[in-house]
Structure 1
Amino acid sequence: MTSAARHQMSDLGRRIEARRTRLGLSREDVAARAGSTPGYIELLEEQLPSPGIEFLVRLANALETTVQDLTGYTADLAPGKAHAGHHAGMVGIDETECWALLDDHGVGRVAVTGSDGPEIYPVNYQVVGREVLFMTAEDTPLARAAVTGAAIAFEEDRVDDAFSQGWSVLLAGPVRKVSDPATAQTLRAAAYSTPWAGEGRDTVVVLSPRRVTGRRVLVQGAPGTSSGPRPRP
């Protein structure tokens, strides 16, 4: 799709495409799940702004999400509004799976110690090997921490409100500023996206985690769980 065509996509089309891509599904896959055709899925993503509610329900099920999420109804709501699930429990996530959950890139949160104490804020991140790349402004707490090699924490999570379960991954370790211009430019070019917050964030910071841990909350009988022993409370 050209950049001009992408600009004309509806909000619904963008959400359908983003969700489909995140699940690793083709249009053919989604069409088979929703009882439709690949051409109609393409039409929804690129042109048609408002299908009927019956098909929206089928499409949401095919994309393992909700009509509210697809239509943007919950976009400004904090996650985790549902009650706790029945027979819920928490299990640890090993380091290999933690990296797999982080995937290649995304948006997470960094925790640093600023002049007024601890500060937490969202950042775009890029996984490079077993390190995490951030791009930030020169005068941010994260950039200042990188100059001194201070330790920070980085967290990423997902919440499944429909089943009151989800996961969280935490990385902790020192950060460093990439001062060599050629290396910094190579890392910037490797990033999937520039920071969502806009221009002026050219300082490249790399986290080398010394600790990688994760936790997953599971609800018996929910997607992703088995009928075996319950997770430990």
Structure 2
Amino acid sequence: METTERRVLVVEDERAIADAVAARLRAEGFLVQVVGDGPSAVETARNTHPDVIVLDVMLPGFDGLEVCRRIQAERPVPILMLTARGDETDLLVGLAVGADDYMAKPFSMRELAARVHALLRRADKAATVTTAPRPDTTTIRLGDLEINQAERRVLRGGVEAHLTPTEFDLLVHLAGRPRTVLPRERLLAEVWGWADASGTRTVDSHIKGLRRKLGADLIRTVHGVGYALEVDR
């Protein structure tokens, strides 16, 4: 089974939600640990090396954004953030400090499980690409944009931008079809691995992150459709 021995750390101080999330993920075959505050989350992640973390924003001790920042500084790990607030600022800050995905409460347990599976598939794929021997052809050059897929590094105008794993995968996908408008639903399916279109706001938020780090002129919005990378071939 895909999830055999895969570890998930659930960080949630609302016991009913924590128990429900843990029960669903255990039913999916994951090994699940649950903690309820920021310091315990950082310490548990350090000691147990989970494969993915489901992380609430509002926590005792210090909040989920600080937890995310500290954990990612020590060891990159896929993180799905949860919040009861619909604040766009929280979403952008969460992505900026290293979260890979974001869900607002209340949420579907089925969708949460699907997103955890997708995060793990993408992490496994990225690890394979990183460790496999690759020729120089894995470097994409478009105008002043340079994407080294083997090293997962991005430079624009010679300046390196530090992207989250999801931002990097999204940029590579757009760069593979420069100036071509890719619908949000297609990006969700091909980058996130989702079969439905329920997470288009997640795409929009990651696009904002790429613009903030690489320049507002890099990606064109086609309203009601999707996005296109606007650099010269």
In which range does the TM-score fall when normalised by the shorter chain? under 0.3
Compute the TM-score of the two structures, normalised by the length of structure 1: 0.25
Q: Which structure exhibits the higher relative contact order, with contacts defined as CA atoms closer than 8 Å and separated by 6 or more residues?
A: 1
The structure with the largest helix share of the pair is 2
Name the structure with the higher strand share: 1
Larger Rg computed on CA atoms: 1
| TM-score (ref. length: structure 2) | 0.25
